């Protein structure tokens, strides 16, 4: 599949936007593409796409075809790398088969091992919506912000949303939910490529904490609403899969400096999505903001300080533990067999240190 040129993107925007994609909108699209280009990450592999059994040169071409229902898809990587370092923080695969019921089969490289079946949802990342000069006139009703709020939709529903709302997607994430956890893969729809995880080469894989699928879904559903800026969204995803990060570590992952990591984590803390431990300089995810709901609730602009960051609770993880296996209610780690305490050894020590 050949990459989409700016002319291809302009043609698609004209087809879906009609009169809205005037000269003003064309210039805005060119600006949006040039601003998006530096944010692209290294490519793992390019992909080909077949929708309803018919091959398409790109996702945009399939969206532009009204006969494409997106009920069944096949996404195949072209020459997926065998080097494990290329797949750092990701699940290696060579093909994904999407079914009409919203599920998918993840086929491993060279079929080494069984396929993984999962429920798949789409998370829109960066995009453009055609808006003419008249659409932005004061007092005129109509779209004036980003894309309308969407949910975590199956592929077919996400395609319908994009068509109805005239969305030109640049980048999206596919989220795969299994019984135990969630996998995330990000795709550049302009270059038709699978992108590296932002943590690859910048944070050791041993720092990863695999959260229960139920908790991951609650966080993803909140992100899908589009209320957080992209940088904060990525920071929340990254922070939620660790036991905590410093501002320096987050700045390094996001490709910036200390101040970038600090401002991003402070933004999450102000929204009640993270806590800050002054003793260690570590920011930790705050999961109780998502407890007890299928999706995140409306969150206050600022939450009150917690008396001790190590004493945070996560009802979502307690529910997941009841569903599957015993986990520590603070950090979510699996508890070893025969343990007599409710907390893992690391959190037990942390709580006693805080009490002292």
36-67: per-residue pLDDT in tens? 999 899 999 999 999 999 999 999 999 999 99
Buried b (16+ CB within 10 A) or exposed e, 29-58: beebbeebeeebeeebbbbbbebbeeebeb
Contacts of 296 (CB under 8 A, 6+ apart): 218, 219, 221, 222, 225, 289, 290
**What percent of the chain lies above the pLDDT cut of 70?**
80
Contacts of 342 (CB under 8 A, 6+ apart): 328, 329
Contacts of 128 (CB under 8 A, 6+ apart): 13, 28, 29, 32, 33, 167, 168, 170
Q: Which tokens is 24 given?
A: 């003003």
d(CA 90, CA 183): 7
Query: CA end-to-end span of the chain, whole Å?
Result: 61
| pLDDT above 90: residue 162 | yes
User: To the nearest whole number, what is the mean pLDDT of the chain?
Assistant: 83
| pLDDT above 50: residue 231 | yes
Which has more confidence, 285 or 318? Answer: 285
Can you tell me the mean pLDDT for 279-285? 93
Sign of CA dihedral 286, 290, 296, 300: negative
Q: Are 1 and 58 in contact (CB under 8 A)?
A: yes
| pLDDT above 70: residue 230 | yes
The model carries a pTM of 0.79
Can you tell me the mean pLDDT for 135-155? 62
pLDDT of residue 135: 77
pLDDT in tens, 170-211: 999 999 998 878 899 999 999 999 999 999 999 999 999 988
Q: Which tokens is 30 given?
A: 């060119």
| pLDDT above 60: residue 140 | no
Tokens 């917690």 -> residue: 306
| Count of CB atoms situated within 10 Å of the CB of 342 | 12
Q: Crossing angle for the helix pair 230-240 and 258-270, nearest 10 degrees? A: 80
Q: Are 119 and 101 in contact (CB under 8 A)?
A: no
d(CA 243, CA 315): 16
pLDDT of residue 138: 56
Task: Of 102-116, 214-228, 261-275, give the range with the top mean pLDDT.
Answer: 261-275
Tell me the pLDDT band of 143, cut-offs 50, 70 and 90: very low
Q: What is the DSSP string of 120-173?
A: EEEEE-SEE----TGGGSTT--S--SSSPP---B-HHHHHHHHHHTT-EESEEE
Task: Of 133-142, 198-207, 305-314, give the range with the top mean pLDDT.
Answer: 198-207
d(CA 144, CA 80): 41
pLDDT of residue 320: 42
Buried b (16+ CB within 10 A) or exposed e, 287-308: bbbbbeeebbeeeeeebeebee
The two beta strands, 171-177 and 282-285, are: unpaired
| pLDDT above 70: residue 314 | no
Can you tell me the mean pLDDT for 272-290? 89
| pLDDT above 70: residue 292 | no
């Amino acid at each position: 599949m050949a990459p989409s040129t700016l002319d291809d993107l302009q043609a698609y925007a004209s087809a879906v936007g009609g009169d809205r994609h005037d000269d003003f909108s064309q210039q805005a699209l060119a600006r949006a593409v040039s601003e998006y280009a530096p944010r692209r990450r290294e490519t793992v592999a390019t992909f080909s796409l077949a929708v309803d059994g018919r091959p398409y040169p790109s996702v945009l071409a399939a969206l532009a075809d009204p006969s494409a229902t997106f009920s069944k898809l096949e996404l195949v990587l072209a020459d997926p790398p065998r080097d494990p370092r290329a797949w750092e923080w990701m699940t290696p695969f060579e093909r994904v088969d999407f079914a009409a019921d919203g599920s998918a089969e993840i086929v491993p490289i060279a079929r080494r091992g069984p396929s993984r079946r999962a429920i798949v949802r789409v998370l829109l990342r960066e995009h453009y919506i055609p808006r003419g000069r008249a659409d932005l006139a004061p007092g005129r009703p109509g779209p004036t912000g980003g894309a309308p709020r969407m949910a975590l939709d199956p592929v077919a529903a996400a395609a319908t949303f994009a068509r109805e709302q005239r969305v030109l997607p640049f980048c999206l994430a596919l989220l795969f939910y299994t019984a135990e956890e969630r996998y995330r893969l990000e795709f550049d729809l302009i270059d038709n490529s699978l992108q590296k995880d932002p943590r690859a080469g910048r944070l050791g894989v041993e720092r990863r904490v695999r959260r229960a699928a139920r908790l991951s879904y609650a966080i993803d559903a909140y992100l899908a609403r589009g209320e957080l800026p992209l940088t904060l969204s990525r920071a929340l995803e990254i922070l939620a899969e660790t036991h905590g990060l410093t501002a320096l570590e987050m700045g390094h992952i996001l490709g910036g400096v200390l101040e970038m990591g600090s401002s991003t984590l402070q933004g999450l803390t102000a929204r009640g999505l993270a806590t800050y431990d002054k003793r260690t300089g570590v920011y930790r995810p705050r999961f109780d903001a998502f407890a007890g709901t299928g999706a995140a609730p409306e969150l206050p602009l600022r939450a009150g300080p917690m008396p001790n960051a190590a004493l945070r609770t996560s009802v979502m993880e307690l529910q997941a533990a009841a569903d599957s296996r015993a986990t520590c209610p603070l950090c979510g780690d699996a508890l070893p067999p025969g343990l007599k305490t409710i907390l893992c050894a690391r959190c037990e020590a942390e709580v006693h240190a805080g009490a002292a």
